[in-house]
Amino acid sequence: MNRLHVECKFMHGWHLSKKNPLPSDAHLCNIPKMTPFFPYSLRPFHTPHFSRLFRFLAPSAILLAAALPSGAGSVVKVEKNAADAFELRRDGKPFFINGAGGTHNLEDLVKYGGNSIRTWGIEQLDEKVAGKTLLDRAQELGLTVTAGIWIKAERQGFNFSDPAKIAQLQQEVRNAVKKYKDHPALLMWGLGNEMEGPNGSNPAVWKVLDGLARVIKEEDPNHPVMTAIAGAAPNKIQGIMANYPSLDVLGVNAYAGAAGLGKALMDLGWKKPFVLTEFGPVGHWETAKTSWGAPIEPTSRDKAASYYATETNVLKDGAGFCLGSYVFLWGNKQEVTATWYGMFLKSGEKLPSVDAIVRAWSGKWPENRCPKILKFESSLREAVVGANQSCKASAQVEDPEGDAVTYAWAVLPESTSVHAGGDAEAVPQPVEGCIVSQSGSDVSLRTPGKPGAYRLFLTVRDGKGSASADNIPFLVK
């Protein structure tokens, strides 16, 4: 809605403002075309025409208490503090992001010390759980939201040199900002995610984003604009500095080299603040591969170590410029495998990466920690084997609290639905008949009869909401 200027009849007379609290003696107020988020409270005013004003408003008056929302729109600014360090200030108070990418397991995020979530597409804000939108759920839980606005990449068919397409996109962005800008959970606008492509060499991309950022600021001067790119390659940073002056905060998705992101940016001449918008284990494009080209997934313990090291080191390395981070992914996702990046199993149990990030945020472990897979042994590891071949596997597992654990084994084909930029992938299904028998942590199995690349997965659960999952690749010839 448009900004409203409303004068109301009260015991002593009041005027709407954003700074003063709602008076206890507020009676009636005429508020035309009320929308869910009304960004004003009330302050006293005095007018000699008070009674005439009230007679004008009274016929269409409504109860103010019923009309006003539970909270008004936030004001978030990027500023430098007394130590000359950049910081986010939310409603005048410093706000450092301990965040997660994702929209699930939000109660757990709050319990473990998180304070913000990051989304990728504007449609996610209207997704409902138990009748409540994501923004409303976040507000109730005390979480902020960096609201993603998806910008298609060239690989997805968008032409950054087409004036008609650009104009249409600008209008779509404007509409989205108008709709959500006054929600109190909003922290920043996440304008695009890895839309620049692998090398970011097209200056038109940055120029279009700059125009979109100006559109956002026309409609909403109260929330910064951030764009997330894949890695801090020199040509990307230089392209942004030359063509995207309206950017407030740089978001960088980084994995193996994430801990040194601050220094890398400063070495390239970057002068604005940044957020580590995605980080986690070593990426599937960065890790070692088998002789047939399958990426070798880090163990659950190695992934946990990566999360902890990155979160603690990036804050030191980026001191004065880093505004916080968003771990990836607070939920479950199929990307190469169903366990590489997700911090939870599809069945809901948390994985060791959650324990690690809780430790990094709070200095303490969660009350119930995940079981540890200390060893996972099999002749299948990175091996080339025959079809229908008998083999064995075993594991050594330790639970920090001594909880009894269960073991689940499965053979899945290697995913053939691998896409660029984290695009959606199909989930492979287990191969029937491969698990012959199981006794505790030992399993007997038979390799698939069809030639191809596969993985043997082990999932260990403690029955109390925590788990670990590892896998080994093998090839059937």
Give the pLDDT confidence of 221-248 residue by residue, as tens digits. Answer: 999 999 999 999 999 999 999 999 999 9
- Residue 28: per-residue pLDDT: 30
Residue ending a domain, choose from 67, 92, 109: 67
Same structural domain for residues 306 and 422?
Answer: no
* Per-residue pLDDT tens over the stretch 246-282: 999 999 999 999 999 999 999 999 999 999 999 999 9
Same structural domain for residues 237 and 277?
Answer: yes
For residue 305, being part of any structural domain is answered with yes
What's the Cα-to-Cα distance from 439 to each of 301, 393, 405, 445, rounded to whole Å? 24, 11, 13, 12
- Residue 417: per-residue pLDDT: 76
Same structural domain for residues 227 and 340?
Answer: yes
DSSP assignment letter at 126: G
Same structural domain for residues 189 and 308?
Answer: yes
Residue ending a domain, choose from 43, 67, 91: 67
Whether residue 209 is predicted with pLDDT greater than 90 in this model: the reply is yes
- The HSE-up count of residue 422 (CA atoms within 13 Å, CB side) is 20
- The HSE-up count of residue 260 (CA atoms within 13 Å, CB side) is 6
Look up residue 477 and give its two tokens: 């010839």
Q: Work out the number of other CB atoms within 10 angstroms of the CB of residue 363.
A: 8
* Per-residue pLDDT tens over the stretch 140-164: 999 999 999 999 999 999 999 999 9
Q: How many domains does the chain have?
A: 3
Same structural domain for residues 169 and 62?
Answer: no
For residue 1, being part of any structural domain is answered with no
Contact 106, 137 (CB under 8 A): yes
CATH number at residue 205: 3.20.20.80
Q: Cα(197)–Cα(64) distance, rounded to whole angstroms?
A: 50
Contact 467, 371 (CB under 8 A): yes
φ, ψ for residue 124, nearest 5 deg:
-65, -25
Q: How many residues does the chain have?
A: 477
Same structural domain for residues 145 and 60?
Answer: no
Same structural domain for residues 237 and 353?
Answer: yes
Domain span at residue 402 reads 372-476
Confidence of residue 421 (pLDDT cuts 50, 70, 90): low
- Residue 51: per-residue pLDDT: 35
Residue ending a domain, choose from 362, 387, 421: 362
- Residue 319: per-residue pLDDT: 94
CATH number at residue 389: 2.60.40.10
Q: Following CA atoms 310, 84, 115, 35 in sequence, which dihedral angle do they give, to the nearest 10 degrees?
A: -140
Q: Work out the number of other CB atoms within 10 angstroms of the CB of residue 242.
A: 11
Max CA distance (Å), the chain: 95
Q: Cα(212)–Cα(216) distance, rounded to whole angstroms?
A: 6
For residue 13, being part of any structural domain is answered with yes
Contact 211, 171 (CB under 8 A): no
Confidence of residue 425 (pLDDT cuts 50, 70, 90): confident
- Residue 304: per-residue pLDDT: 98
Host H or E run for residue 53: helix 50-57
- Residue 418: per-residue pLDDT: 67
| Helix, strand, coil percent content, the chain, rounded in steps of 5 | 25, 30, 45
* Per-residue pLDDT tens over the stretch 169-197: 999 999 999 999 999 999 999 999 999 98
Mapped onto helix, strand or coil, the DSSP state of residue 165 is helix
Contact 217, 144 (CB under 8 A): no
Same structural domain for residues 311 and 335?
Answer: yes
Q: Cα(331)–Cα(101) distance, rounded to whole angstroms?
A: 8
For residue 367, being part of any structural domain is answered with no
* Per-residue pLDDT tens over the stretch 31-62: 333 333 323 332 333 333 333 333 333 333 33
Q: 236: Cβ–Cβ under 8 A, 6 or more apart, which residues?
A: 196, 199, 200, 229
For residue 2, being part of any structural domain is answered with no
283-310 in b/e form (b: 16+ CB < 10 A) is bbeebeebeeebbbbbbbbebbbbbbeb
Same structural domain for residues 181 and 136?
Answer: yes
Answer whether the bond into residue 329 is a cis peptide, omega within 30°. Answer: yes
φ, ψ for residue 65, nearest 5 deg:
-60, -35
Q: What percent of the chain has pLDDT over 70?
A: 84
Whether residue 5 is predicted with pLDDT greater than 50 in this model: the reply is no
Residue 476 pairs in a beta bridge with: 385, 452
pLDDT, averaged across the chain? 87
Mapped onto helix, strand or coil, the DSSP state of residue 416 is coil
Look up residue 226 and give its two tokens: 């951030």
Residue in the structure block whose two tokens are 């590891």: 381
* Per-residue pLDDT tens over the stretch 80-139: 999 999 999 999 999 999 999 999 999 999 999 999 999 999 999 999 999 999 999 999
Q: Following CA atoms 223, 227, 231, 236 in sequence, which dihedral angle do they give, to the nearest 10 degrees?
A: -120
Same structural domain for residues 131 and 16?
Answer: no
- Residue 419: per-residue pLDDT: 60
Same structural domain for residues 113 and 257?
Answer: yes
Look up residue 322 and give its two tokens: 């880093």
**Adjacency order of strands within the sheet including 435-439:** 372-378, 390-398, 442-446, 435-439
Whether residue 457 is predicted with pLDDT greater than 50 in this model: the reply is yes
For residue 469, being part of any structural domain is answered with yes
Q: Cα(44)–Cα(53) distance, rounded to whole angstroms?
A: 15
Same structural domain for residues 38 and 119?
Answer: no
